[in-house]
Structure 1
Amino acid sequence: MSFDLFMQYLTNGISLGSLYALIAIGYTMVYGILRLINFAHGEIFMMSLYFAFYGVALFALPWYITFVVAILMTALLGMTVERAAYKPLRHSPRITIMVSAIGASFFLQNLAVVIFGGRPKAFPTVPLFTQVIRIGNISMQALTLYIPVATVALLVGLHFLIHKTKTGLGMRAVSKDHDTARLMGVNVDRTITITFAIGSILAAFGGIMWGMKFPQIVPTMGLIPGLKCFIAAVVGGIGNISGAVLGGFILGIGEIMLVAFLPGLTGYRDAFAFVLLIVILLVKPTGLMGEKTAEKV
């Protein structure tokens, strides 16, 4: 394999890994705050694409306005899911909350089928992102470069929010202990809602860029990316934002390189994520950047 071809594959892997990282952060943030897996996160990602699609196709809004509206609607959807499916069960056994999360996932998926129909739809193309850029002998869509740049910008903003703002301080306090945080004056309910909103916003950014990169949307499309991003969060260390980002890049680059070096295994590309998960759990059950914590009963 030539150096130019290797760099082509590496660029594509970084781009895909950036998308996985954005979506994986939503899983890891919710787990860090509530110690539960938001199984509806993949469907929230899916709904963001439909919000953007109909903003352009039905209301004929400019793409930049549509994308902002879609992101805000996705944040509202994430907060609604938290209020409806998780908040009433906050003091219930873990298994009850997990069943509610799975139910919310199937509900959103089937709701999308009823409202939007089951036929695949073509996500709108934006000429700004589809133009071809050449760097030396490497050719790529502009979107392939914009995705990592946007991901880095969002991660910097998230880091600032968590470590430099009062809201972020509250989130870190709640992640340690709900009762102690409440005694210190932190509004736990509002902090949890904000966490869901931020995770949904990142999922919406990832979803919109995913739609432009893979321009076909169906109501069931959130399943596989959702599972892969959950795996990325576990590989990196569930509950650790940096770990989720690392896991996303490992998964994205690994998938692309598998196809590049072993083209005969292209059909097993999706299986790579599950094999990686098994290996990581056998070698380091807490994930690459995870830490052992005492399990709360």
Structure 2
Amino acid sequence: MDCNPGLIGPALITGLILGSLYALIALGYTMVYGVLKLINFAHDAVFAFGAVSTWYILGQVFGLVGPQSGLTLVIVLLAFLMIGGLASGGVAVGLERVAYRPLRKRHAARLSYLISAIGASFFATYMLQQDFLPFMLGPGPRQYPNVIEAGAAGFSFSLMNVRVTGPRLLVVVAAFVCFFILDRLINKTSTGRSIRALSEDPVAAQLMGVNVDRVIVTTFFVGGFFGGVAGALYGTLFGSIAWNLGFIPGIKAFTAAVLGGIGNIRGAMLGGLLLGLIENGSTICIGPEWKNVIAFTMLPLVLIFRPTGIMGERIGG
């Protein structure tokens, strides 16, 4: 096994970029688990709808396919992040209403939630593979609106012998801004206090006047919103999307949530960044073809040796 020191810089930069993306998606898993103690295995489809909605609205409806600049660029960037977030937040709320709430009202077994979530994920994902409606992707990949110039002629700079382009920088900056906003929301607002109360003791929270249904819907929406932002960033970063785009990032984000401590917001952030660095760091010695293997191996290792993850189980800080 020969290690290439020249790959350390690219591995670190790429790991930070992809880790930021995994962390954003992981927030949805960890928030739902923190409140309901259930794994939302349909969150990969929620993430995918963020990318699809921005592709359709900005690229197909408004025809934005080339790079923007100046104030127009700022407005477009804010628009596509909000579109992705709101669309996925709406999908997540619909998922809670259709796939989870009826089971919760009947006090169904936990296995029923798992089956319902997996079924909803398959349905949503394979709907995107069809093409009988304009917003569906069809079987082939679709080009994503290139609102930021990614080439050498656009915004870029060199860091550790790596060319950092506009889309790459946007992923990291947007992710950390989202982390800060969510951390403040959970730890400094009345909504966050209600979420934490329901997470720690649902019965006591309800007796204290917390509206359980409203808090759960809010939790799904917020987790879905950040998943949708991640979907929009994914399309911008890679330049194209396909109907099954949520599968691999979804599994990796779930691994990141478990690694950091599922149910803990800051743990999801840390887990995503660590997973990105670990999987890309492995390319220094064993090659990029093993990257996914390394990432997926992390899940059973964490469950065996530290099932609570790095930062435990609380949803607050």
Return closer, same or farther for 1:61/1:186 CA change in 2, 3 Å cut-off.
farther
Q: Which moved more, 1:140-149 or 1:18-27?
A: 140-149
Residue 97 (structure 1) aligned with residue 113 (structure 2): yes
Distance 1:137 1:96 in 2: 50
Distance 2:12 2:232 in 1: 22
The alpha-carbon deviation at position 66 of structure 1 amounts to 4.0
Residue 123 (structure 1) aligned with residue 148 (structure 2): no
Alignment of 1:163-182 (within 5 A): 163-182=187-206
Q: Which 4+ runs in 1 deviate beyond 4 A? A: 1-5
Q: Which moved more, 1:128-137 or 1:159-168?
A: 128-137
Return closer, same or farther for 1:84/1:153 CA change in 2, 3 Å cut-off.
same
Residue 226 (structure 1) aligned with residue 250 (structure 2): yes
Residue 13 (structure 1) aligned with residue 15 (structure 2): yes
The alpha-carbon deviation at position 6 of structure 1 amounts to 2.5
The C-alpha deviation readout for 1:169-214, integer Å capped at 9, x for no partner, is 1000110122211110111101000111111111111111111112
The C-alpha deviation readout for 1:48-69, integer Å capped at 9, x for no partner, is 1110111122211654434422
The alpha-carbon deviation at position 93 of structure 1 amounts to 0.8
- Residue 31 of structure 2 aligns with an amino acid whose one-letter code is M
The alpha-carbon deviation at position 123 of structure 1 amounts to 1.2
The C-alpha deviation readout for 1:113-141, integer Å capped at 9, x for no partner, is 22421111111112356532234754221
Alignment of 1:164-243 (within 5 A): 164-243=188-267
Distance 1:15 1:137 in 2: 15
Higher helix share: 1
Return closer, same or farther for 1:97/1:146 CA change in 2, 3 Å cut-off.
same
The C-alpha deviation readout for 1:203-261, integer Å capped at 9, x for no partner, is 11111111111222111111111111101111111111121111111111111111233
Out of 75, 79, 92, the position equivalent to 2:93 is 79
The C-alpha deviation readout for 1:132-151, integer Å capped at 9, x for no partner, is 22347542212222322221
Return closer, same or farther for 1:66/1:146 CA change in 2, 3 Å cut-off.
closer
In the alignment, is the contact (CA less than 8 A) between 2:4 and 2:285 conserved in 1? no
Out of 100, 105, 108, the position equivalent to 2:124 is 108
In the alignment, is the contact (CA less than 8 A) between 2:84 and 2:231 conserved in 1? no
In the alignment, is the contact (CA less than 8 A) between 2:283 and 2:290 conserved in 1? no
3-state SS of the aligned residue for 1:134? strand
In the alignment, is the contact (CA less than 8 A) between 2:93 and 2:220 conserved in 1? yes
Q: TM-score, normalised by structure 1?
A: 0.91
Q: Give the aligned partner of residue 73 of structure 2.
A: none
Q: CA RMSD in A?
A: 2.0
Alignment of 1:56-71 (within 5 A): 56-60=58-62, 63-64=76-77, 65-71=79-85
In the alignment, is the contact (CA less than 8 A) between 2:183 and 2:266 conserved in 1? no
Distance 1:245 1:129 in 2: 26
3-state SS of the aligned residue for 2:248? helix
Distance 2:297 2:163 in 1: 31
Structure 2: which 5+ runs fail to align?
65-75
In the alignment, is the contact (CA less than 8 A) between 2:34 and 2:199 conserved in 1? yes
In the alignment, is the contact (CA less than 8 A) between 2:27 and 2:257 conserved in 1? yes
In the alignment, is the contact (CA less than 8 A) between 1:82 and 1:196 conserved in 2? yes
The alpha-carbon deviation at position 5 of structure 1 amounts to 4.9
Distance 2:271 2:92 in 1: 23
Question: Aligned residues: percent identity?
Answer: 40
3-state SS of the aligned residue for 1:58? helix
Q: Give the aligned partner of residue 159 of structure 1.
A: 183
Q: Give the aligned partner of residue 36 of structure 2.
A: 34
Q: TM-score, normalised by structure 2?
A: 0.86
